[in-house]
Amino acid sequence: MIRSVAAVAVVASLACVSIGQIDDLFSPLLPSESEQEANFSVAAIPSLLRVRPGSQFHVALVVKIAEGWVYYSPDPGPVALPAEITVDAGGLNAGPALWPKDKSKAVPLGDQQLVNNVYTGLAHIYVPVSVPSDAESGIYKISFTLGGQICKEACINLSGVHVPTSVTVGDADVANPDWTAEISARLAEAITADQLRDWHGQASPAAKPGPVAGSTGAKTIWAGLALALLAGLTLNIMPCVLPVIPLRILSIVEMARESRRRFVTLGLAFAAGMVLFFAGLVVVNAALRLATGQAINISDHFTYPGVRIAMAMVMVAISVNLFGAFTVTVPSKVAALEGKTQREGYAKSLGMGFMMAVLATPCSFAYLLAAMAWAQVQPLWLASVTIITIGVGMAGPHVVLSAFPGLLSKLPKPGKWMEIFKQSMGFVLLPVAIWLISTLSERTWPFWVVAYGVVLAFALWMWGSWLRFDAPLGRKLVVRGLAVAVAVSGGLWMLPKPAAPAIAFRSFDENLFRSARDEGRIVLVKVTASWCTECLVIDYRVYDRPEIAEELAARNVLAVKADVTDRGSAASRWVRDQFGAAPPLTAIYLPGEDKPVMLVGGFSKDKLISALDRREGA
């Protein structure tokens, strides 16, 4: 990996020969200053010719870039010098420069491509200038110096690009006739360098500057695979994995009955089941790309109601099996084969690992979304390796766990507790099945009542089955007190009818969306799904808070819910076309902006308010 990064750095340096000390080595080959002047020019146009003390005005730096040349932006990407402006305001006060939004440019680096951010043609840069209230009357000279880099076949480090202008401080404001309507309109679109960087980070995968199809994009192959590995590791701690933790606990308990060697091999089989799920995604993704040119979304399987129903029935079947109501018998020929090869139980561990991966992926999040977005603009072979790497990342901790058979000694000796624990896991899996079924309906409260029925049954089972009739009084008080606590606390939490949501989200309607945009309203689109557990966390932490509802109301925000629970809905089609991403996702469309501010995955109340406060050119 170090060698790959070093190689990319070397090629990047050679691709733009003006980086670092390469200028001195290759100066005879670089364009001359006359070529710089021919291909890059700047004019300074103040908005006012005469300005009063205490007032503010802007100076527009109209940059003209010759055809075929590019000027790198303040956030240029991996291979370029950033644009910069220094100002000598001559006794006045200059604020931070405001930049136009840039474009993406792919730079070939050997057999790879990196994507930089550039300006072409005409670019309007603005510098706000304020006049002190005690400024004396007279002419004030202002000088601007532009730095950075322009490139075509070769690159030029900008030098000596000094642009002077002047204003007169007097008793009245006098507009500059050279300040055209176009210049004024572009000022409304300009943003600071920090906002430009935020825009690069927040833009949707389909809209933000990024890799082009068939390239390695802005990251090296190794960086992309490292991101995929991190995404897989993070899957183990996301809210989506909560429903399947009982499966893993049960597998460890059952492996406690095995030898040390079997503990290791069964654990590896469990991890292999996870990787097998992602291998299946690779096959489906390859088929889709070859047949339709479209890529798979990692949570697509949950958008089909039949899949969620099937998974719920599997959860019920596993629960009933754990209760001891039935056992799975293996044909004698298969049992004999397994006996010869000593593979008894591996299929079960493999299946449980596969099940955990299926149930752990309905919610996307920042790392997973970024890894999948990066993968789907790569060649098919690299996309496939990336998806498999996500599976390897998810399986990694379980492989490490399997490497420590000494953990067996930490568990209690086999006994009645194992049967109690096994049946307890059956009760835990039943609410998982109910949750899966609840995703088929918009009304969730009845399913909470049904789920409480399972909790109550569990408490009654604790009361009657965890103790022998001759158990000591102290143990009876503890166990039955715990059973009562479970029943009462569960009822207090699950049975009350949910309060009305703090924010009255409108169901997604494209006509409503466009109408609000035309009226100049802020439009907030919450992309959610009933099977998205992280969406519920965001609702609890952000959208169910009264202060957020008050903020949206005060700003006259149209709050829209794009429910993508089922694949065939109009909201699902619109979200796929606009973002190509899965929930949780919030898109905030500000007046005058074509692209939304994107909040991907989990976020805080402060981050939402900050996104609402963002204004182009402010």
Tens digit of each residue's pLDDT (9 = 90 or more) over 426-475? 888 888 888 888 888 878 888 889 989 999 999 998 888 888 777 888 88
Cα-based angle 323, 402, 236 (whole degrees, multiple of 5) = 75
Assess whether pLDDT exceeds 50 at residue 242: yes
Q: What is the pLDDT of residue 614?
A: 66
**pLDDT digit string, tens, across residues 74-103:** 988 755 678 889 899 988 999 999 999 998
Sign of the C-alpha dihedral computed for residues 334, 336, 339 and 345 taken in this order: positive
- At 497, phi and psi to the nearest 5? -70, 135
Residue bearing the bigger pLDDT, 420 or 275:
275
**SS3 for 3?**
helix
Assess whether pLDDT exceeds 90 at residue 116: no
Chain-centre distance for alpha carbon 332: 50
Q: In what order do the strands lie in the sheet with 506-507?
A: 506-507, 558-563, 523-528, 585-589, 597-600
User: Binning pLDDT at 50, 70 and 90, where does residue 160 land?
Assistant: low
Q: Which residues of 187-199 are buried (b: 16+ CB within 10 A; e: fewer)?
A: bebbbbbebbebb
Domain ranges of the chain: 2-192, 221-410, 506-613
> Taking phi first (over 0 means left), then psi (-120 to 50 degrees means alpha), and beta for anything else, what does residue 45 get?
beta
The token pair at 417 is 């507790």
The architecture CATH gives domain 2-192: Sandwich (2.60)
Residue bearing the bigger pLDDT, 408 or 42:
42
**pLDDT digit string, tens, across residues 176-229:** 999 998 899 899 889 998 888 888 875 433 333 333 333 344 445 777 788 788
User: Binning pLDDT at 50, 70 and 90, where does residue 314 land?
Assistant: confident
Average pLDDT score over the chain:
78
Give the whole-angstrom CA distance, residue 308 versus residue 233.
Answer: 24
Contact in structure between 32 and 130 (CB atoms under 8 Å): no
For residues 582-606, give the mean pLDDT: 84
**SS3 for 81?**
coil
Q: What percent of the chain has pLDDT over 70?
A: 76
Q: What is the pLDDT of residue 327?
A: 65
Q: What percent of the chain has pLDDT over 90?
A: 25
Question: Among the CATH numbers 3.40.30.10, 3.40.50.620, 3.30.9.10, 3.30.70.920, which is that of 506-613?
Answer: 3.40.30.10
> What are the residues facing 585 on neighbouring strands?
527, 600
- Within 8 A by CB and 6+ apart from 405, the residues are 260, 261, 263, 264
Q: What is the pLDDT of residue 606?
A: 86
Assess whether pLDDT exceeds 60 at residue 23: no
Assess whether pLDDT exceeds 90 at residue 547: yes
**pLDDT digit string, tens, across residues 322-373:** 887 776 555 555 455 545 445 557 787 888 888 888 877 765 565 676 677 6
User: Binning pLDDT at 50, 70 and 90, where does residue 140 land?
Assistant: very high
For residues 360-389, give the mean pLDDT: 73
CB-hemisphere CA count at 13 Å for 102?
29
For residues 19-24, give the mean pLDDT: 32
